[in-house]
Amino acid sequence: TREPPERKRTISNSETRGCMHMSLLNRVQQLPKGFVWGAATAAYQTEGSTKVAGKGKTMWDDYLVAQGRFLPDPASDFYNRYEEDIRLSAEHGLNAIRVSIAWTRIFPNGDDAEPLAEGVKHYHELFACCKKYGVEPYVSLHHFDSPAALFNQGDWLNRKTVDAYVRYAEFCFREFREVKNWFTINELISLSHSQYIQGNFPPNHHFDVTSGIQSQHNELVAHARAVNLYKDLDETEHLGGRIGMVNVLTPAYPATDSPADQHAADLYNAFYTDFIMDGAFLGHYSAHTLSLINEILRANNATLTVEDGDMEELAKAAPRNDMFGLNYYQSTFIAAYDGESTNSFNGTGDKGTSCFKFKGVGQQVDMPGIPTTDWDWLIYPQGLYDTLKHISATYPNLPVIYITENGLGHKDPEPDANGIVADPERIDFVDQHMEKVLQARAEGVDVQGYFIWSLQDQFSWANGYDKRYGLFYIDFDTQKRYIKQSALWYKELADTMADAQ
């Protein structure tokens, strides 16, 4: 088998880490039968084959060519090699995988009259393969890959995209009845932030606050319409599955105890967390959230338009979500800031090159003593615990939670002579975050699964192929898969859970 002789060394190659890992190994035995132990992927980051079988362009195709840094082909060649990756998943103890359907493999322009038969067949085959290996698919309908034809007309800012998305969702709900776990949209906030505030996703607007808040709202409407549609269809057509949303939460802490910094953190949390969580799980924006959002809008001469029927749609959907997918990577520390907005994005892994100052909100500050990745992401497991506790206390409608992404982007070394990749940093990262999940669970937060980001190495939207996250290493020239130490450790946790049940 693939287990290398140094497997034990991975688990306890330093006394401290060894103790920590043993503690997690002991504690995962408390997890209930059926705890979901998975890994996550996204269509556009893994599939490659962007020009086959009539697939339409996404908002990324021409953009990545023009940018000239890296291309989406062949990515991890998952379009052709999914069976190998799903087999590896099963062999390493995973019982679930997050995948997304590429909208443009089904409807190349987003709103075509007829679906593409080959795209439909491809996903039926993928789901059949998951079933064959006992790996349950959790399927997102939209993971950052809007059809270019709709993106060019304003993407989520244009209600035409919302209508087309709902038609695409309806097609998928009826067609892919083998899918029992649906996610509507991946990380609503990341799209808005990266497209219109941070400017590192197309169309690369910086601090376009009107678009930033409007796209959040419109994505929420799309999410709510998809949830309501699924639940209504389920009543008549017995789809028999579950639906929810995935969002990334990045809690902001005040840089100091000063009231000004506290207020800046509140503003940041309102814009980056509460607006979407309120809309999805309260079904309205709370008065507190709205007053903070209005303060940000005023400072930036920005506006939000709510159309007739939007709030009714949100209110109807809020109690109908079956699950919430929480992605967590990092936290942030915010200080008050009076100047103009400015930012620089670290998309290269040159540590210390990012800066973010948002007029009317606050500025991100370094916190000595808190480690960061090469991409300047704060490694702060406490933020995951605090977030879990906060959302479960704040949203009575909150359904069961899955951690749908958590992981470490790292410049991994190449495989060693035995073909194994040493990634102890990733093991430590997951270990520390899982401990916080278990702590929150022990205090009553209903987390029922954990998906590491990511299953295999894939390309990162704004960072390219050097920022690796996978359990499985990919040599992108040959597409050969190698096992990382983290995959062996992940399997050991899975085996320990299974043995205890």
Which residues are near ligand BGP by CB under 6 A? 42, 45, 186-187, 190, 248, 327, 405, 409, 453, 460-463, 467
DSSP 322-391: -EEEEE----EEEE---S--EEE---S--TT--EEEETTTEEE---TTS-B-TT--B--HHHHHHHHHHH
Residue 186 corresponds to which tokens in the numbers above? 């991946």
CA dist., res. 117 & res. 51, Å (int): 15
* Nearer residue to ligand BGP within complex by CB, 261 or 405: 405
Q: Is 307 among the catalytic positions?
A: no
Determine whether 35 is exposed, middle or buried from the number of CB atoms within 10 Å of its CB (0-12, 13-18, 19+). buried
Which entry of 47, 187, 219, 313 is annotated as an active-site residue?
A: 187
C-beta closer to ligand BGP: residue 45 or 486: 45
- Marked catalytic residue, from 47, 136, 313, 405: 405
User: What is the separation of C-alpha 255 from the centre of its chain, rounded to a whole number of angstroms?
Assistant: 26
Residue with tokens 């959302």: 391
- Number of residue whose CB is nearest ligand BGP: 460
Active site residue 47: no
Alpha-carbon distance values, 135 to 48, 58, 132, 192, 343 (Å): 22, 28, 8, 32, 41
Report the C-alpha gap between 276 and 278 in whole angstroms: 5
d(CA 168, CA 157): 18
Closest separation in Å from C-beta 333 to ligand BGP:
20
Q: Quick one: tokens of 93?
A: 């103890």
In the complex with ligand BGP, the residue whose CB is nearer, 42 or 249, is: 42
d(CA 457, CA 41): 9
Tell me the two tokens of residue 90. Answer: 């099963």
Closest approach, Cβ 462 to ligand BGP, in A, equals: 6
Question: Which C-beta is closer to ligand BGP: that of 405 or that of 492?
Answer: 405
Nearer to ligand BGP (CB atom), residue 202 or residue 283: 202
Q: Which amino acid is at 74?
A: P
Tokens 């090159």 label which residue?
Answer: 353
Q: Work out how close the CB of 12 gets to ligand BGP at its nearest, in angstroms, rounded to a whole number.
A: 29
Q: What is the dihedral of CA 108, 109, 113, 115, to 10 degrees?
A: 20
Angle between helices 424-442 and 15-27 (to 10 degrees): 40
Q: How far is the CB of 360 from ligand BGP (least distance, A)?
A: 24
Element (H, E) at 40: strand 36-40
Nearest in space to 222 (alpha carbons), one of 196, 254, 192: 192
Q: Which residue, 254 or 325, has its beta carbon nearer to ligand BGP?
A: 325
Closer to ligand BGP at the Cβ: 358 or 461?
A: 461
Quote the least distance from Cβ 72 to ligand BGP, whole Å: 13
User: CB of 492: closest distance to ligand BGP in angstroms?
Assistant: 25
| Smallest separation (angstroms) from ligand BGP to the CB of 101 | 14
Catalytic site residues?
187, 405
